[in-house]
Amino acid sequence: MERKSSATLHDVAREANVSIATVSHVINNSRVVKASTRARVEAAIQMIGYRHNMVARELKMGSSGLIGVLIVDYNPFYTDVLRGIEKRLETMGYKFVVASTGEQWERQRELIHLMVARRMQGILIAPVAGFDAEYVLRYVPEQCPVILFDREVSGLPSVTSETRDATKRLAEHLVDHGHRHVGMILSTDEISTMRDRQFGMEEACREFSLKLSMERTSPDDRGGYEATRKLFSRFAREDQPDVVFAANNVMLLGVLRYMKEYGFSIGKNRAVVGFDDQIWCEVFEPPITVLDQNAYGMGEAAVDLLQAALHGEAVTSKRLPVRLTIRRSCGCPME
Amino acid sequence: MERKSSATLHDVAREANVSIATVSHVINNSRVVKASTRARVEAAIQMIGYRHNMVARELKMGSSGLIGVLIVDYNPFYTDVLRGIEKRLETMGYKFVVASTGEQWERQRELIHLMVARRMQGILIAPVAGFDAEYVLRYVPEQCPVILFDREVSGLPSVTSETRDATKRLAEHLVDHGHRHVGMILSTDEISTMRDRQFGMEEACREFSLKLSMERTSPDDRGGYEATRKLFSRFAREDQPDVVFAANNVMLLGVLRYMKEYGFSIGKNRAVVGFDDQIWCEVFEPPITVLDQNAYGMGEAAVDLLQAALHGEAVTSKRLPVRLTIRRSCGCPME
DNA sequence: GAAACATAGTTAAACGTTTACTTTTTTAAT
DNA sequence: ATTAAAAAAGTAAACGTTTAACTATGTTTC
């Protein structure tokens, strides 16, 4: 029953007293075989503990039938996207594997290499900061379509969020509360999402005559904390931003921590707005107003583009709407 | 430059005017080749856009050199484990791919199948509820070691958390605050972690003469909310639990939401304790006291066991200590 | 009873590598 | 010059599948 090294089609064929072709056909259901023969083959498979060798199959067939997904980090946003991808791919009957680049060019290069060397059917990528399409264009073969998500880079199709519109609505809402000065916390501008969020806010602030102060930092909670400190220390107390907008969810936690430590009262004293919704944003006191990307939908849309590409159709980048979820950290009164 | 279908070693060999063996050797650095020849080969590779075909290599070599990781969901706990796995595997020079089972037996079976059919070098699994070692024992070949993590099942080596000890310390701390009745919120007992947490608390409550009331629910924030409601409605106001202990992090958010909606004052009125630390637990008001598993370390330990298994050494299951992180939701006064 | 046709099964040639075994070329020592 | 040794490169047989092209065996049909 237990086998030392894995048995092959050959062994099964010998055991069942049929040809290796017949065995292959019962395994893949690729031809009618007499019920009695099939039974014999199946018994033999059980008997000697045969396990299908996909890698041989893939070599013969020329593709793995797998989709590769590269995210930059296992953070809640990307894992939501993953869930969308998973769902959509499942209905298409594809399996997929995930790997994370850790925002490192070199790792991303290695992983793309791994994906094409393993003959993935397609690749979904959230590109690292400073990524340049050229490598993909040159290295990844045409049969293996590449779809970007979250971040766009010119030359490759992507699905991203339409930030401008929601940012404008947010700015409008903020002036309605009487806020005059927004402090914005961003990470590197080598990432398209950060540029979008920055430019969107700049535009909106111009339109509504809000003062805007930027602070760039590392995209973690420590960064959010430090950036808030710096932002506030740049001004006299009365000129400090009355709202701080964190361009991602984990920096948001840093600003919240700062506010708490320094005794600011969120929603009264100061307003705080975040990007991407998490469950805790709702139960926080006060609940946090956020610009909420449709992460799940982004995953689905990326798969849809991929599918189109696999069918040889032309694919065009897509931008998903962003929802402004108003809660109370922006200054809205408790009901 | 652009190639229709991928070129092969053969094409490179022809282009560079060497044998296919030589090309293979320059690619793998598996034999000394004269500098000039190597240069010629490398030029040819660039020229015709050759891409190494790993699946052919794997077939020949008999293994993919990849590690497969199966998690049940992309939640913060598992993604922390993933980071530990990633780190450790990286230093070992392995690459790995992740897939999620969504707590479904059938998906897990398919994915294990995929991993062994793809000739993974080893598999790390967080098994789904009700998982039974027999399938793995029967189906996965010996050359492909399987290490479980987070949840244990008899018959397979695993790395899990030692809950009892920390639970006991927690109980002790709770009686020190004068609490008398703990309400515990669990999900299904088909998962070993839930059983551990339950038995640990039962034991501790016996030891410290605390009253214990259990409520079982779905492992999401809605479940946490509902379970708290049920738990509280089972008793007259004065007999209600004075501390509720959520056996995982996302149910915790549900109990927090309930507490908030019904005007309980956490840390005074009622105590709340959670399982697994998240960044938001610290910035929450009051900061949440938690039993904190070493997720990252769990990933590392799983890889260590795997490595031992790959080296043919005997592996024995490991339990990692759990830290009791006392903050203020348990009733500790603000400093 | 031969021609035509299903049906069930077999044979053998790929797929693109790796590598043990050979062969050729170069170098160094006489 | 010759040759032994060392260095560099080449040959060809796997690895475990899939599948086109056959073969063998009934079963119809005229």
For residue B54, which residues of chain A lie inside 8 Å, CB to CB? 114, 117-119
- Domains of chain A by range and CATH? 9-52 (1.10.260.40), 64-159+296-320 (3.40.50.2300), 162-294 (3.40.50.2300)
Q: With an 8 Å Cβ cutoff, is A328 touching chain B?
A: no
Q: Do A64 and B55 touch (CB under 8 A)?
A: yes
Give me the amino acid identity at B249. N
What is the predicted pLDDT for the residue at A239? 94
CB-based contact A74 B82, cutoff 8 Å: yes
Q: Which residues of A fall within a CB distance of 8 Å from B283?
A: 253, 256-257, 260
Answer for the pair A151, A175: CB distance below 8 angstroms, yes or no: no
pLDDT interval class at A168 (50, 70, 90): very high
Question: What is the pLDDT, as a whole number, of residue B5?
Answer: 60
Q: What is the pTM of this model?
A: 0.93
Q: How many CB atoms lie within 10 A of CB A311?
A: 9
Q: Does B100 touch chain A (CB under 8 A)?
A: yes
Q: How many CB atoms lie within 10 A of CB B89?
A: 23
> What contacts B142, CB < 8 A, 6 or more positions away?
A2, A4
For residue A229, pLDDT over 80 is answered with yes
Q: Does B284 touch chain A (CB under 8 A)?
A: yes
Q: Looking at residue A4, what is its pLDDT? A: 45
Distance between CA atoms of residues B165 and B244, nearest Å = 19
Cβ of A283 and B256 within 8 Å? yes
- B138 CB and strand D closer than 7 A: no
Residues in A 193-232 with any Cβ partner in B closer than 8 A: 221
8 Å CB contact of B53 and A279: no
- Helix-then-strand count for chain B, H and E: 13, 12
The pLDDT of residue A93 is 86
Q: What is the pLDDT of residue B21?
A: 96
Please give the full DSSP string across A73-115, using - where no structure is assigned. ---HHHHHHHHHHHHHHHHHT-EEEEEE-TT-HHHHHHHHHHH
Q: Protein A34 CA to nucleic acid C1 C1', in Å?
A: 29
A220-243: average pLDDT: 95
The answer to whether the CB atoms of A256 and B119 lie below 8 A apart is no
- What's the confidence (pLDDT) of residue A58? 95
Give pLDDT tens digits for A15-59: 999 999 999 999 999 988 999 999 999 999 999 999 999 999 999
- Tell me the pLDDT of chain A averaged across its residues: 93
Both tokens of A157, joined, read 């199709």
Is it true that the peptide bond before A141 is cis, omega within 30 degrees of 0?
no
d(CA A309, CA A314): 6
pLDDT at A324 over 60: yes
> What is the pLDDT at residue A1?
35
3-state helix, strand, coil in chain A (%, to 5): 45, 20, 35
Report if CB B14 to strand D is under 7 Å: no
pLDDT value, residue A106:
94
Find the angle CA(B96)-CA(B102)-CA(B108) to the nearest 5 degrees: 65
* Cis amide leading into B219 (omega within 30): no
Half-sphere exposure of B29 (CA within 13 A, CB side): 0
Q: Tell me the count of A-B CB pairs closer than 8 A.
A: 119
- How far apart are the CA of A277 and the nearest CA of chain B, in angstroms? 13
B250 touches chain A (CB under 8 A): yes
Stated as kind and residue range, the H or E segment containing A316 is none
pLDDT tier for residue A5 given thresholds of 50, 70 and 90: low
Residues 6+ apart with CB under 8 A from B231: B183, B185, B213, B215, B240, B241, B244
Query: Which residue stretches of chain B have pLDDT < 50?
Result: 1-4
Among residues 105-124 of chain A, which lie with CB inside 8 Å of chain B?
110-111, 114, 116-119
pLDDT of the residue at A57: 96
Whether A63 has a pLDDT exceeding 90, the answer reads no
Please state, in angstroms and rounded to a whole number, the distance separating the CA atoms of residues A48 and A44.
6
